[in-house]
Amino acid sequence: MPGGAGYGSEVPNVLERNRVTLRGVPSGRPMLFAHGFGCDQEMWRFVAPDFEVDHRVVLFDHVGSGKSDLGAYDAEKYGALQGYAEDVVEICRELGLTDVVYVGHSVSSMIGVLAYNQAPELFGALVMVGPSPRYVDDGDYVGGFSRNDIVGLLDALDSNHLGWSTQMAPVIMGNAGRPELAEELTNSFCSTNPDIARQFARVTFLSDNRADLAGVQVPTLVLQCSADVIAPETVGRYVHEHVPGSVFTQLAATGHCPNLSAPEETTAAIRAFLSG
């Protein structure tokens, strides 16, 4: 696996390592957009531009995803979501950002919670798009998957990365009447390094960040899609109930990727939250 023993002899600059892209108004309130599993910063291309008119927009790829520096992938560091959260904090500090509006999709919602808990002075608001603090059911907690479901999902990914991607992407995307969306997500999954995809999937689907939610003390928006098989409504409402003072917005958008399938609705919901 790339970088399994560490970063190697030369540590890459964080902005190069994570392919950080800066847009918008340099003096505007910063907005940091974080993508989900198997994706990259291009997944925000229909949402982020709307905020460039009055915000400093920061886009990046998690290490191991997109066009990040694969040589910087450290299996030990990224064996937990905390490793990705450390990168978020490092990006903010490298750019001198404060009062950051962090917008995280899917697993990056919890990465944002961890980053906030690590360095709360950097963040002014959190936006969680399709968040899940735990995917596996646990007693009264309904995450949407049994442990056997997750084991089967991970085993399938281990045995056939391309086949898994082709099968799962349409399920995750939803919107069966718009096959081009599923095709884009499939291609994104398939282009990810298989070894990294397997570990990121394990870290994502076996994580439990429920206890981390109560520490969030900034305005927070929970954006919940309809008919989301990855993060069902019960999960979104759980996040809302356990993040003090958070706002819950139910989207008409279906599936797990409203940043692609319903960017106008997603953008409008974030705008309404930030102006409220």
Other Cβ atoms closer than 10 A to 234 = 12
Residue 5 and residue 93: Cα distance in Å, rounded? 26
Amino acid at 14: V
Residue 173 and residue 181: Cα distance in Å, rounded? 7
Amino acid at 61: D
C-alpha angle 255-217-250 in degrees, rounded to nearest 5:
25
228 in catalytic set: yes
Burial (Cβ within 10 Å: 0-12, 13-18, ≥19) of residue 63: buried
Residue 168 and residue 211: Cα distance in Å, rounded? 29
Q: Exactly one of 212, 228, 240, 246 is catalytic; name it.
A: 228
Distances in Å between the Cα of 14 and the Cα atoms of 36, 40, 86, 90, 151 are 19, 16, 11, 7, 34
Structural tokens at position 42: 């291009």
Are the C-beta atoms of residues 58 and 33 closer than 8 Å to each other? yes
Residue 176 and residue 59: Cα distance in Å, rounded? 28
105 in catalytic set: no
Distances in Å between the Cα of 145 and the Cα atoms of 161, 176, 256 are 20, 22, 15
Q: Exactly one of 207, 246, 256, 261 is catalytic; name it.
A: 256
- The secondary structure of residue 39, as a DSSP letter, is -
Residue 189 and residue 62: Cα distance in Å, rounded? 14
Distances in Å between the Cα of 72 and the Cα atoms of 2, 14, 86, 151 are 8, 10, 14, 28
Q: Exactly one of 106, 109, 165, 246 is catalytic; name it.
A: 106
Question: Could you give the residue numbers annotated as active site?
Answer: 106, 228, 256
